[in-house]
Copies of this chain bind each other. A is one copy, B any other.
């Protein structure tokens, strides 16, 4: 249930609604966009209070059937959410490029790659210290040692860093080393992990599960938002289909679909989606054109020697080239959007 307050509602009117909700055993999430205040309400049986809430001072409207992902929905927040990570912004009028190796392998590898990311036009550095590998015998990541290297590289090149967490027990201490926490596709519906990162104040990069519908994905964002963490970035990374030419199937429609359903920023991971170097360029450009707010791509200082995902990592030169093309296209698209605002 969503309670929309009148423009200019008084603070005590807002408090009145919150008190009413809590005394009925529900929870209230307040969104104050400056212009308007909206209150997301949930809890068992809370629907029965809708009339009562509607009659309170300062309430304009009570929406009784929002989407199941009410806090993530456009109904709750018609404006695009912008997430700040240091000097970087994700969402709104910018395009954010996250890049780096699949796995952190060594200081040399990470520093060289970080330099390539920074000089090649990247906004953030990604790198895995805990790797979710299909086989227990495959390289599982450097763990703490990797995290320290990542934090070091981030400082050295003045670039925020992103890394994946796999275990609820790791959330709080990993947060010390990273600017953004990534929830991987295989853990998208690891609800314990979602609840745990929902308690932090870190931006969360939530990858879409390879088996998940758009609605399930937004419900997973809702787990995080409902925990009190409003900094969620959605990431489309390809879904599993019968097609075997590509590693996964990039669901390009999911970009505009998620953006019409939700106010959260949406980025695309063309590396995992395609698994093929030759397809990363065209699908990255397609993502920009479809309205994505950014990309996350795998870059390695020496892809042939990579310990994981060697077939989909860009070289520094390929990354720099991609970055230039993508930014040129984004600039063009922005100009077009400024000229005319009506969508077909």
Contact = CB atoms under 8 A, between A and B. Distances in A.
Contacts of A250: 251-253
A334 to B, nearest CB: 12
A314 B344 contact: yes
Given A256-B283, A283-B253, A289-B289, A242 B242 contact: yes
B273 A253 contact: yes
Interface in A149-205: 166-169, 186-187, 189-193, 195
A288 B290 CA distance: 10
A257 B241 CA distance: 16
B136 A223 contact: yes
A167 B168 contact: yes
A277 B342 CA distance: 13
A111 to B, nearest CB: 23
Interface in A126-160: 132-137
B242 A246 contact: no
B211 A211 contact: yes
Contacts of A325: 336, 340, 344
Interface string A22-47: 00000000000000000000100000
Nearest to A278: B260
A211 B213 contact: no
Contacts of A318: 344
Contacts of A252: 250, 252, 283, 286
13 contacts: A132-B189, A134-B219, A135-B219, A166-B192, A239-B242, A239-B243, A243-B251, A253-B273, A260-B278, A278-B343, A286-B287, A289-B290, A325-B340
Interface of A: 42, 68-69, 132-137, 166-169, 186-187, 189-193, 195, 209-211, 213-216, 219, 222-223, 226, 239-246, 249-257, 260, 273-274, 276-291, 314, 318-319, 321-322, 325, 328-329, 332-333, 336, 340, 342-344
Please name the 5 residue pairs, one residue from A and one from B, whose CB atoms are nearest each other, closest first.
Answer: A211-B211, A256-B282, A289-B289, A167-B192, A322-B344
